[in-house]
Amino acid sequence: MTAIPDTQSFAPDPVLPKRKSRVWAKFKRSPSALLGGVIVLFFVIVALLAPFLPIPGPLETDWGAVRKAPSAAHLFGTDEIGRDVLSRMIWGAQASLLAGVVSVLIAVAMGVPLGVIAGYRRGWTDAAISRVTEALLAAPFLILAIALAAFLGPSLTNAMIAIGVSATPVFIRLARAQTLSVMTEDYVESARAIGVGHVALIWRYILPNIFPPILVQGTLTIATAIIAEAALSFLGLGQQPPAPSWGAMLNVAKNFLEQAPWMALYPGMAIFLVVLGFNLLGDGLRDALDPRDN
Amino acid sequence: MTTPLILEARDLKKGFVTKKPLFGEPTVVRAVDGVDLAIREGETFAIVGESGCGKSTLARLLVRLIEPSKGQVTYEGRDIGGLSDKALRALRAEIQFIFQDPFSSLNPRMTVGALIEEPLRTHGIGTGAERRAAVARILTRVGLRAEHADRYPHEFSGGQRQRIGIARALVTGPKLVIGDEPVSALDVSVQAQVINILEDLKDEFGLTLIIIAHDLAVIRHMSDRVGVMYLGKLVEIGPADALFAAPAHPYTETLLAAIPISAVGARKAHVAVEGDPPNPIAPPPGCRFHTRCPYAKAKCHSEEPELQDLGDGRSVACHFAQDLALKGIQPDIGQRSEATAKRFEIYSAARARTDPPTNTKSTT
C-alpha cells in the first residue's frame, strides 16, 4: 500500500450557497419578477377559492339588476341578464388559468420529447422533425389555434388542445437547440465514456440541463395561451355559454360597450394583469436562472 | 519485455469535414492521420505534442468515443470498431477515460455520489448498498470524504473535481484508463496531488495508463514510454528515459528544449521552432515538420519519412535520425533543475501532509 496524501484536509467545507438558493436570491432581488409572481399567485388563489368566496353564483341571474353599474351589491356591476360580473370573473379565472397551464403542459409534453429526440439523434430524424416544425411555425400561432379549434369543435377542452398543439413547435425548437448545445458538453461525453445508455443519458444528463430555459419559455407561453384562450372564447370557440370565461365575457360585453362599459372593462383588465404577471414572472425566472452573471 | 498487448491501433485516421461545398471536394481537417500504436499491459504510455496536433482526437479514437475514418483499434484482441453499441457500452466498464477539464466534465445536476455511482449502476455492479459503500471507499481513496457524496460538483475546487473524475473512472475497477491531459487545467501544486493519486492507484489497481499531455515535465517521471505526436502523426516512440536523454526526432528535441531549466551550464539544445504548426487541412508535402525543422534538407521537402525502428524499443520518423546528434535532458542524477526540484518538493510536501494544515487550502 502506498501512502496516499491526506488530501482530505484540503477539502474545505463548501462555501458556495446551493444553486437553488442562489436562484431564489437573484429572483428576490428583482422587483418586477416579484411583482409578477405576486400577481400570478393572487389570481391562482382567487381562482381556487372561487367556491368559498361570499359571491353570488356565476350563473345566478338577478332580473332586478340587469346591466347595473358597480355598486355595493355588485362590486363590478352586473351583465345583460343580471349576473354578477365579479363572480363571473373569479370563476372565469379558473377557465383562463386552466387553459393557460393545460395547453402549455400539452405543448411541453409533445414538444420537448420531439425536440430532444431531434437534437439527440440528428440526421434524418432531426430533418423530418425540424421540417414539420417549420411548417407549423409558418402559420401564425393564433390562426393555427383558431383553425384547429374550429376543426375540433367548440369547447374549452378542444380550445386547450388547439392552443397546446399550436404552441408545440416553439418547444420543439427550443428543446432541440438546447439538446444540441448540451450534447457538446464534456459531461455528456463523460457519460458516453462510462457506457451510459441512451435513455439514461437523456434522462439524467439532457433533461435536467435543458429544464431551465423550458421553464422560462413555459411561463411566458402561459401568458400567450391565456390570450389565445380569450381570443377563442371571444370567437365562440372556447368556453361555451353560460359557463364564464374572460374571453366569452368580452364577447358579450362588446354589444353593450356604451351602455355597460364595466362588463368589458373588468375582464379586459384581468386578462391584461394576468398576462403581465406571467410575463414578468417569466422574465424574472430567465434572469434568475441565467448562470452567466453572478 | 514481452508483456502482452492490451490495446493496439493500426493506421488510425480521423478527418473532420469543415466545409462541404455542393460540388467538389469537401475540406477535411486531418486530425489524426495514420497512427500505429501498441500499448502493453501495465505500462504508462504518454502521448505528447503541442496544441492541435490531434492527441485528444487520438485519445477518443482509442476508446471509440468518436468513430475513426479509417483504421482499427483492438482491445485484448477484440476489434473495438466492430462491436455493437451494446457490446461497446459493456466494454466501457474496463476502459475508462479521465477528462481534461474538471469543470465541464461533471454533470452539474448530479451529486458527487450519483456521479461516482453511475458507472456501477450503468454496468449493474453490486446492490444499492454495496454501490454506496464502494463510492464512500473510492472517495476516501482519492482523498475526499465520504460525506462529500451528497454535494454537487460546483461546491468543489478544480483539484477536488478532478479527483472526483478519477474516482468515477476507477470505481468499476477498469483495466485501461486514458487520461486526456488530466492535470493541465489545474495549477501546479494541485497537479502534484492528482498525479500522485493517479500513480498510486495505478499500482494498486494494476492499471494500464495512457496519458495525453502537452507538458513534458508532467509526464516525465510517471511514464514508461512516450509517443511524440506532430500534426496527426507519431514522429517518435520510445522509452521515456532514453527519449528524454537522447531524442531522435528534431521535434522531440525542440519540445525538450522548451522545458525551462535554470541550472548554469545545463545541457540543453538551443533550438526553438519558429512559427505555428502547419494547417492540418493541407499538411506540407514530405516530412510534416520540414517547415519548422532546423535540420531540414532537400529530401525532407519531398519525401515523407516512415516510422523506422532504431532498436531498444525506439522508433522515429526522420530521414536523418542516425546522422543527427540531438540533445536531450540528462537523466536527473546529480542535481535537478530548479524547476524540477521545486516540483518534487511540492510533491513530497503534498505526500507528507498528514494533519489538517491551517494555512493551506486547495485553490482553483
Query: Can you tell me the mean pLDDT for A261-269?
Result: 87
- Among B352, B335, B339, B331, smallest CA distance to B220 is for B331
DSSP A164-204: HHHHHHHHHHHHHHHHHHHHTSHHHHHHHHHT--HHHHIII
Q: Is the pLDDT of residue A114 over 90?
A: yes
Fold of B1-92+224-331: Rossmann fold (3.40.50)
Confirm or reject contact between B355 and chain A (CB < 8 A). Answer: yes
DSSP chain A: -PPPP-GGGG-PPP-SPPHHHHHHHHHHH-HHHHHHHHHHHHHHHHHHHGGGSS---TT---TTSSSPPS-SSSTT-B-TTS-BHHHHHHHHHHHHHHHHHHHHHHHHHHHHHHHHHHHHH-HHHHHHHHHHHHHHHHS-HHHHHHHHHHHH-SSHHHHHHHHHHHHHHHHHHHHHHHHHHHHTSHHHHHHHHHT--HHHHIIIIIHHHHHHHHHHHHHHHHHHHHHHHHHHHHTTSSSPTTS--HHHHHHHHGGGTTT-THHHHHHHHHHHHHHHHHHHHHHHHHHHH--S--
Rounded-to-integer distance, Cα B234 and Cα A274, Å: 65
pLDDT of residue B120: 94
- Among B233, B193, B194, B190, smallest CA distance to B211 is for B194
Rounded-to-integer distance, Cα B141 and Cα B120, Å: 17
pLDDT of residue B331: 55
Domain that holds residue A265: 30-49+75-289
Rounded-to-integer distance, Cα A104 and Cα A217, Å: 10
Contact, A232 vs A149, CB < 8 A?
A: yes
Asked whether the beta carbons of residue B151 and residue A209 sit closer than 8 angstroms, the reply is no
Q: Is the pLDDT of residue A75 over 80?
A: no
Asked whether the beta carbons of residue A186 and residue B104 sit closer than 8 angstroms, the reply is yes
Query: What does the block give as the cell for B357?
Result: 494544515
CB interface of B with A, residues 141-170, below 8 Å: 141-145, 148, 151-152, 154-157, 159-160, 163, 165, 168
Specify which residues B29 forms β-bridges with.
Answer: B16
pLDDT of residue B269: 57
The pLDDT-based confidence of A160 (bands split at 50, 70, 90) is very high
A17 vs A221, residue with greater confidence:
A221
Q: Which residues of chain B have a CB within 8 Å of the CB of A9?
A: 353, 355-357
DSSP B29-85: EEEEEEEEEEEETT-EEEEE--TTSSHHHHHHHHTTSS--SEEEEEETTEEGGGS-H
Confirm or reject contact between A123 and chain B (CB < 8 A). Answer: no
Asked whether the beta carbons of residue B65 and residue A193 sit closer than 8 angstroms, the reply is yes
A vs B: CB pairs below 8 A: 127
pLDDT of residue B261: 65
- Among A195, A251, A31, A79, smallest CA distance to B120 is for A195
- Among A248, A199, A275, A196, smallest CA distance to A85 is for A248
Which among B89, B100, B106 has the least Cβ separation from residue A197? B89
- Give chain A's end-to-end CA distance (angstroms, integer): 44
Domain count, chain A: 1
- 3-class DSSP assignment, residue B230: strand
pLDDT of residue B330: 64
Q: Which stretches of chain B are DSSP H helices? A: 55-62, 85-91, 112-122, 128-141, 158-170, 188-205, 216-220, 240-245, 250-257, 298-302, 338-352
Contact, B317 vs B249, CB < 8 A?
A: yes
In a domain, A2, yes or no: no
Query: Can you tell me the mean pLDDT for A191-219?
Result: 92
Length of chain B: 364
Q: Which residues of chain A have a CB within 8 Å of the CB of B354?
A: 6
CB interface of A with B, residues 7-46, below 8 Å: 7-12, 14, 16, 18-19
The pLDDT-based confidence of A292 (bands split at 50, 70, 90) is low
CB interface of B with A, residues 165-194, below 8 Å: 165, 168, 193
Asked whether the beta carbons of residue B362 and residue A12 sit closer than 8 angstroms, the reply is yes
CB atoms within 10 A of CB B227: 25
State which amino acid sits at residue A226. Answer: I
Distances (CA, A) of B273 to B255, B277, B295, B303: 9, 9, 11, 21
Rounded-to-integer distance, Cα A7 and Cα B350, Å: 8
The C-alpha torsion from A18 through A24 and A29 to A33, rounded to 10°, is 150
Which among A5, A16, A19 has the least Cβ separation from residue B350? A5
Confirm or reject contact between A199 and chain B (CB < 8 A). Answer: no
A20 vs A111, residue with greater confidence:
A111
In a domain, A67, yes or no: no
pLDDT of residue B358: 43
User: Domain coordinates of chain B in residue numbers?
Assistant: 1-92+224-331
Q: What is the pLDDT of residues A115-140, one digit of tens each?
A: 999 999 999 999 999 999 999 999 88
CB atoms within 10 A of CB A138: 9
Model's pTM, two decimal places?
0.80
Contact, A119 vs A175, CB < 8 A?
A: yes
Which among B105, B118, B148 has the least Cβ separation from residue A196? B118
pLDDT of residue A10: 47
DSSP B79-128: EGGGS-HHHHHHHTTTEEEE-S-TTTSS-TTS-HHHHHHHHHHHTT-S-H
Tens digits of pLDDT across chain B (364 residues): 568 889 999 999 998 888 777 787 788 888 888 899 999 999 999 999 888 888 889 999 999 999 999 999 999 988 998 889 899 999 999 999 999 888 899 998 899 999 999 999 999 998 989 999 999 999 998 889 888 898 888 888 888 999 999 999 999 999 999 999 888 888 887 888 888 888 888 888 889 999 998 878 778 878 899 999 998 899 999 999 888 888 889 898 888 887 776 555 555 556 666 677 788 888 888 888 888 888 888 888 888 888 888 888 899 998 888 887 777 776 554 455 677 777 777 777 777 665 444 444 444 4
Q: Give the minimum alpha-carbon distance from A18 to chain B in angstroms, rounded to a whole number.
A: 8
Rounded-to-integer distance, Cα B95 and Cα B64, Å: 10
> For residue A221, what is the domain's CATH number?
1.10.3720.10
Q: Is the pLDDT of residue A1 over 60?
A: no
The pLDDT-based confidence of A8 (bands split at 50, 70, 90) is very low
In whole angstroms, how large is the CA radius of gyration of chain A? 24
Q: Give the minimum alpha-carbon distance from B185 to chain A in angstroms, rounded to a whole number.
A: 14
Asked whether the beta carbons of residue B92 and residue A193 sit closer than 8 angstroms, the reply is yes
In this prediction the ipTM stands at 0.80
